[in-house]
Structure 1
């Protein structure tokens, strides 16, 4: 189970890197095709599209994942299918309504002056079908993740991005002779076509799952390996009876021997889905809300500190447009880990397996330490060459170096949020994010206005925001699972990363004058990574057992 959980995390991590890489290349090429003005037209329609997606699907996908995982853990496969059917019907309606509203409301958005450039009209109507397809995608992904199947999500993400990029660049280029409005509208078509491709992939994986009617597997359908294992090895717990299904039992035997499962009504399932979805949706709204607070406060307080409007805008761009994306990129692993954790924790909790919840939590936190602490030191040491190579903006190094500290806290926050959602406590992360946001506003208002701090003050406020939210999550996890930070593991990561950082500092300083900056940066990071692993092994922070648990390479440690 642990190895399978790690495999799911690895699959999502690889997909995340691939999608990010394709997206970055696409954005560079699309900018060359459309130019700044064309990108501006496209960007005017995109926030409306994102808002419509939030309304159409809200937090339903994670809710589907949680409830499905509970049903599967109890071998209630008919109940799991019922969760999907109800969710699909609900999201079909909301997705279709939001898609039609955007399509027919495009004229009003232009005529009312909400969107000031009427050239965005074609982009609005081109994006509207994507809302329907993406809403359905969220249903399939949530359901398949509830079965702890992460490969469909990963493959669908890659297919979606590839199709999106091909259509955006192709249509944008072909329609450019007809004007920027037409070209931006053509580029916007990529979202819908990419989403449709992803939907086809997910439907294929969905129909590979076992079809169950009245507890009996239907014949003539493909069954994934994971589904077979769940049929054959799941332990179902009833009121007074525990039934352990062995490898020797067939799916039909296991179904006949497990306790009778009380069927849950459609109304009860919908109520639980909505109850879980609302706080999850609020959590997703908190991120753009905090970003808008930054937009309102930071430039104004920089002006108070003595910076001109142009300087304030430039510094704000360094923080939000350059440093923050690097931090998000560095936490792709923990973002994937959090996605895998939700159904895994929910599965164990539904079986009242307190030890399983604890071990999954502690295991996830151990991975979090190894996935964030070294990257924190790497970016801190190499901040200047990184922003110079990627953005050609060495002045962004200060904000990036400070924000590098947030890599650890952001990874911690992502994973702890996944744990709390898996425990059926999705409201807690929202409350914690709200408290952290208040702290950030206070710090932003005061620190950013200090002349010798400036944008550094806003950077420290961002670190504090993420750190407070993560710490509050940990306090609640301690209450519900008994787990808090494992200092015996964390200190080994910190010591190894500090030694790595010191070595990288001197290595880069020595080789930077001898070769191109990019090459010096890559060599320093690679040597630093090797040093980190060696020190971790010497401190017994990594051992043969950890190697065996790793997907793909685990067989080399046996």
Structure 2
């Protein structure tokens, strides 16, 4: 087995483990701090992500690319300049944004949030920004050196530390109220980020660390060219992410204000939003690690075909990606939809979010297409179009949230429907943009067959679950039902010759183990 294949397997495994640990982290949060605490946590977390987007400014992506280019040309002095300049910019921005977020938190919560208790977790998370700034640049440095393991392992460390600290801190803070419990969850983030950054920094050789400290400001001199090169990549890359972060920041504000218009109290709105975004959404997003890995591999695959003007090959790879997303996404949606109530009960010890999953899951299949389609647009040099599509989707989702959630007879269910509708809209816009560049033939018969077979497998699982529940514990009944749905789905796909086993393995090999 080649080093490339070994590295790919390690990265896929690390990506899957990070996703699973991230989900476990959400489960621990939900169980430890309660639905109201989750609501406060999810209200303030988007503000933290927006601050991170601002301080990073797309620089980690730019660092990775520019260091890779300098490494290929043997320009080691330029690598030092790029690293020093990037670290200086992100740290300077973090030291500016941190006091603004901390001291501005009282005004932010009073003016925008209906629940004033959001102040405590928002102020708690503020000091982590310089740590995030440093670790993101170091990750970009290692990725530019084509060493992906430090980034993957640091994320694993971060998630493990978060879970450990959550279990330890929430026991101390929960008795004081939901706001303090949410603050404990934020402290766990700080601890995870700190130890992750410490691990990344420790990977630098001691000698290099001293050299960097000694020559840090010297490396910043005469670095205008490097600054322009970084910004040429960083600023466009920030566009789509900033739109997403601003949209996510505005979302809880619009939700709580809309629910207030519908006559929902601040405490109830906080609890409902926590159930939707802290319990239901993580479960729906759990299978997306497959499409995340697929998106990463699509960029070089389609870029190569497009650079050779081989649009037939580019179309073939896009078609493969869409089919792979449908095959894996359909069974994921069916499992989550069919077993929504028992899954919520066993994971969160609450079935409150079941209705949200049932509303969103059928439309959420489009979410599994969105990442690969966006990666395709980036590979086709249409990143600006992807950004515009994201903006349209964010605006439409926000307007729909206000229109639906402010109606007393719809309320929080309208928020779930608006989120799913926004996802569908962005995915369709991405597809329409790709069709303008590369004509694709959509095999509706194939898509229809997969949809029908997945529904049939779901009905089989729905009927099988009560039988398994009567014979064993709820946990094993769920596991056996998931296995039954997956087995029935695969059997139907192969028996009806909708796909062939060789074709399935070929897709996996082409996407994830491609030289």
TM value normalised by structure 2:
0.75
**How many Å separate the matches in 2 of 1:445 and 1:119?**
27
Superposed displacement of residue 158, structure 1:
0.9
Map 1:282-301 to 2 at 5 A: 282-289=242-249, 291-292=251-252, 294-296=254-256, 298-300=258-260
- DSSP-derived class of the 1:393 partner: coil
Aligned to 2:141: 140
**How many Å separate the matches in 1 of 2:159 and 2:436?**
40
Q: Note if 1:409 corresponds to 2:409.
A: no
**How many Å separate the matches in 1 of 2:140 and 2:328?**
29
2:19 aligned to which of 17, 20, 24? 17
1:547 aligned to which of 489, 493, 505? 505
Superposed displacement of residue 308, structure 1:
6.5
- DSSP-derived class of the 1:483 partner: coil
1:162 aligned to which of 144, 160, 163? 160
Relative to structure 1, is the Cα distance of residues 433 and 301 closer, same or farther in structure 2, using a 3 angstrom cutoff?
Answer: farther
Relative to structure 1, is the Cα distance of residues 79 and 175 closer, same or farther in structure 2, using a 3 angstrom cutoff?
Answer: farther
Q: Note if 1:88 corresponds to 2:83.
A: yes
Q: How big is each residue's C-alpha offset from its partner over 1:155-188, in whole Å with a ceiling of 9 and x where there is no partner? A: 2311332345456666888999xxx899889756
Q: Is the 8 A contact 1:57 1:91 kept in 2?
A: no
Q: Is the 8 A contact 1:337 1:415 kept in 2?
A: yes
Aligned to 2:230: 270
Q: Is the 8 A contact 1:45 1:120 kept in 2?
A: yes
TM value normalised by structure 1:
0.70
Aligned to 1:279: 239
Relative to structure 1, is the Cα distance of residues 155 and 480 closer, same or farther in structure 2, using a 3 angstrom cutoff?
Answer: farther
Map 1:55-454 to 2 at 5 A: 55-63=54-62, 77-78=72-73, 87-101=82-96, 108-109=103-104, 123=124, 127-140=128-141, 143=144, 147=146, 150-166=148-164, 187=188, 189-200=190-201, 266=226, 269-289=229-249, 291-292=251-252, 294-296=254-256, 298-300=258-260, 302-303=262-263, 314-350=271-307, 352=309, 354-448=311-405, 453-454=410-411
Q: Which runs of 5+ in 1 are unaligned?
A: 208-264
Q: Is the 8 A contact 1:127 1:191 kept in 2?
A: no
Superposed displacement of residue 196, structure 1:
1.7
Superposed displacement of residue 391, structure 1:
2.6
Superposed displacement of residue 31, structure 1:
4.7
Aligned to 2:413: 456
Question: Quick check: which has more Rg, 1 or 2?
Answer: 1
Q: How big is each residue's C-alpha offset from its partner over 1:123-142, in whole Å with a ceiling of 9 and x where there is no partner? A: 45752441332332442365
**How many Å separate the matches in 2 of 1:547 and 1:428?**
33
Count matched residues. Answer: 482
Q: Which runs of 5+ in 2 are unaligned?
A: 111-115, 175-179, 209-224
Aligned to 2:426: 469
Relative to structure 1, is the Cα distance of residues 514 and 54 closer, same or farther in structure 2, using a 3 angstrom cutoff?
Answer: same
Aligned-pair RMSD on alpha carbons? 4.6
Q: Is the 8 A contact 1:63 1:142 kept in 2?
A: no
Q: How big is each residue's C-alpha offset from its partner over 1:287-317, in whole Å with a ceiling of 9 and x where there is no partner? A: 41452354245414643xxx66666555444
**How many Å separate the matches in 1 of 2:372 and 2:25?**
24
Relative to structure 1, is the Cα distance of residues 9 and 476 closer, same or farther in structure 2, using a 3 angstrom cutoff?
Answer: farther
Q: Is the 8 A contact 2:494 2:501 kept in 1?
A: yes
Relative to structure 1, is the Cα distance of residues 287 and 535 closer, same or farther in structure 2, using a 3 angstrom cutoff?
Answer: farther
Superposed displacement of residue 420, structure 1:
1.4
**How many Å separate the matches in 2 of 1:23 and 1:113?**
27
Superposed displacement of residue 89, structure 1:
3.5
Aligned to 1:231: none
Shifted more, 516-525 versus 412-421: the winner is 516-525
Q: How big is each residue's C-alpha offset from its partner over 1:359-400, in whole Å with a ceiling of 9 and x where there is no partner? A: 442332222112211111112211222222223333422221
Relative to structure 1, is the Cα distance of residues 469 and 102 closer, same or farther in structure 2, using a 3 angstrom cutoff?
Answer: closer
Q: Is the 8 A contact 1:110 1:121 kept in 2?
A: yes
Aligned to 1:480: 437
Relative to structure 1, is the Cα distance of residues 187 and 42 closer, same or farther in structure 2, using a 3 angstrom cutoff?
Answer: farther
Q: Looking at secondary structure, tell me which structure has more helix per residue.
A: 2
Relative to structure 1, is the Cα distance of residues 494 and 268 closer, same or farther in structure 2, using a 3 angstrom cutoff?
Answer: same
Q: Is the 8 A contact 2:139 2:151 kept in 1?
A: no
Shifted more, 112-121 versus 531-540: the winner is 112-121
Aligned to 1:524: 481
Aligned to 1:214: none
Q: Is the 8 A contact 1:501 1:528 kept in 2?
A: yes
Relative to structure 1, is the Cα distance of residues 62 and 129 closer, same or farther in structure 2, using a 3 angstrom cutoff?
Answer: closer
Q: Note if 1:499 corresponds to 2:456.
A: yes
Superposed displacement of residue 50, structure 1:
3.5
Q: Which has the higher contact order (CA 8 A, sep 6+)?
A: 2
Q: Is the 8 A contact 1:57 1:138 kept in 2?
A: no
Relative to structure 1, is the Cα distance of residues 434 and 425 closer, same or farther in structure 2, using a 3 angstrom cutoff?
Answer: same
Superposed displacement of residue 332, structure 1:
2.5
Q: Is the 8 A contact 1:172 1:187 kept in 2?
A: no
**How many Å separate the matches in 2 of 1:511 and 1:358?**
44
Q: Is the 8 A contact 1:298 1:316 kept in 2?
A: no
- DSSP-derived class of the 1:55 partner: helix
Q: Is the 8 A contact 1:380 1:401 kept in 2?
A: yes
Superposed displacement of residue 404, structure 1:
0.8
Q: How big is each residue's C-alpha offset from its partner over 1:171-225, in whole Å with a ceiling of 9 and x where there is no partner? A: 888999xxx8998897565144223245248759xx9xxxxxxxxxxxxxxxxxx
